[in-house]
Amino acid sequence: MVLAVAAAAVAFLQGGNLVIVDVATHHEQIVMRHAGTGPVRWSGDERLVSSGGKVAGGPTLPATELTWAPSGETAAYATKQGGVAIWNPRIGTRTLLPRGWGAQSVAWDGHERLAIGRTICHVPCGLTAAGCNGS
């Protein structure tokens, strides 16, 4: 079971669904069916919840996980093709770096600045093409 805790609610995956439980009342609500395998994360303002690249009540983004800004409703993600984008319900999706850039991960600091992890390998770089993909 994967859990994410907000101030007055707990979000978790159960039977393929993303469920939110109100801590005070114990009321359960399924907010997303077919939610995947997580990770489960709350937005910075605790209004939105996601599982993997899916936002409950919102889009499915081309990512395996979202990293929410420390405040508000902005999520950043490395795309499956190595780009970087941000999404929020007001502006939609905005590409920061194009696919093929080599992005592997993203992280917000406490001042809402974004750090990006990158892997680059070009042949020839002293490696064979097989060495670039870990083979």
Largest CA distance in the chain: 61
Amino acid making up residue 125: C
Amino acid 134: pLDDT:
47
pLDDT of residue 123: 62
Where in the chain are the domains?
3-132
Cα 49 to chain centroid, rounded: 10
Can you give the length of the chain in residues?
A: 135
Residues with pLDDT less than 70, the chain? 1-7, 121-135
Give pLDDT, residue 8: 87
Strand arrangement of the beta sheet that strand 75-78 belongs to: 67-68, 75-78, 84-88, 92-97
Which pLDDT score is estimated for 135? 43
CB 56 within 8 A of CB 48: yes
